[in-house]
Amino acid sequence: MIRSDIRDMAAYPVPNSEGLIKLDAMENPFSLPAELRKKWAKMLSEVPINRYPDADMLALRSKIAQRDGVAAEQVLLGNGSDEIIQMLLMASDAGACAVPSPSFVMYDVVSHWLKRPVTTIPLNKDFSLNADSFLQICGREKATIAFLACPNNPTGNMWSRETILRIRENFKGLLIIDEAYFPFADTDYLDLIGDNVLVLRTFSKMGMAGLRLGYLLGEEKLIQHLNKVRMPYNINSLTQASALFLLEHSEVFDAQVACIVAERKRMSGALQAMVGVEVFDSQANFLLLRVADADKLFQDVLAAGILIKNMSKHHDLLRNCLRITIGTEDENNQLLAALEGSLA
Ligand SMILES: *Cc1c(COP(=O)(O)O)cnc(C)c1O
């Protein structure tokens, strides 16, 4: 009754984090100021939940469009950007989905659900991406869609503009630039939107992961077609109202993001100074580390009450690598102490 390939699949693993400092999932560690929280709660109490949500969401799309300097017609909203990845894979031409490896796992996972072949292009040892091998493999495997996470997850690095430009100029399929971490990065590729290029963004990493709201930016014509495979009421009323309200107070998130970026720099320096730790450059709200024994370090850190992500078994290039999300100053200091203890 259930497809055999689905039966053989493992469900997406979410570890139990009860009672732990949670530095595993790229969440913003800060909560909302109490005053704002109160106003937000009052506003939510007035949302008519007996009615279906606004299906067109023009107000929210306009707000987002204005923030990012595009037109409301260029914005498609998803229940997290994960849902938009699914829409893109449903609506695009049949053929292989090309993804660098290692990268974000959902491109691969959703392709499998939809029985689309996946073509992986290995990153270089320093996690850079070779545009020519990318294009060569895409050509050979007849890829019709490609996802480039900029910055990349789980490595944290940003591929250069030259690399992205070279791929854009020569790739004939749909090119999705996934900017889930753009609030933390020095550059973005929004200006590259065009005939076959779309930019995917989300509010998750900057502080609204619980709302589940992602969005796609692109040319109006493409957005119109993709909108046809969107579930009519995919963004619930509480999320729509919350996002509209919170984006009116975006200075709160801007300050939190600035704080996370400053902490990332401090953590990177502190970790570099530790013997036995290699730290990779990151433009996101996390850092990738390599140590001699990632399994031991992960367990020691867990025993100290902190959950991070052990990437060691995910990919050959990630052997003995761990990914740590940047937390509050206090959380980060506790992590540093736990790492020091484990490495001593
Ligand atoms: C976290 C992440 C997403 C998914 O974000 P949601 O909007 O929460 O679904 C997409 N792409 C990348 C690269 C990510 O790291």
Buried b (16+ CB within 10 A) or exposed e, 25-59: bbbbbbebeeeeeeebeeeeeeeeeeeebeeebee
| Cα 199 to ligand 1 centroid, rounded to whole Å | 13
pLDDT single digits (tens) 89-146:
999 999 999 999 999 999 999 999 999 999 999 999 999 999 999 999 999 999 999 9
Q: Which pLDDT band holds residue 14 (cuts at 50, 70, 90)?
A: confident
Q: Pick from 129, 127, 124: which is nearest to 147 by CA?
A: 129
Contact 204 CB / ligand 1 (< 6 Å): yes
Specify the pTM: 0.97
What is the percent of the chain with per-residue pLDDT over 70, rounded to a whole number?
Answer: 100
For residue 322, list its beta bridge partners: 289, 310
Provide the pLDDT for residue 108. Answer: 97
Ligand 1 within 6 A of 80 CB?
A: yes
Q: Greater confidence, 140 or 11? A: 140
Say if ligand 1 is within 6 A of residue 153 CB.
yes
For 130, residues 6+ apart whose C-beta sits below 8 A from its C-beta are 121, 124, 163
Q: Which of 77, 81, 157, 212 to mutate to test the pocket of ligand 1 (most atoms within 8 A of CB)?
A: 81
Q: Say if residue 323's pLDDT is above 90.
A: yes
Cα diameter, the chain: 59
Cis check: omega of the bond before 100, within 30 degrees of 0: no
Q: How far is CA 277 from the centre of its chain?
A: 25
Q: Is residue 344 packed enough to be buried (19+ CB in 10 Å), middle (13-18) or exposed (0-12)?
A: exposed
Average pLDDT, the chain: 97
Phi and psi, residue 319, nearest 5°: -55, 130
pLDDT tens digits, residue range 196-235? Answer: 999 999 999 999 999 999 999 999 999 999 999 999 999 9
Closest atom of ligand 1 to CA, residue 78: 7
Report which of 18, 13, 31, 11 is spatially closest to residue 307, judged by C-alpha positions.
18
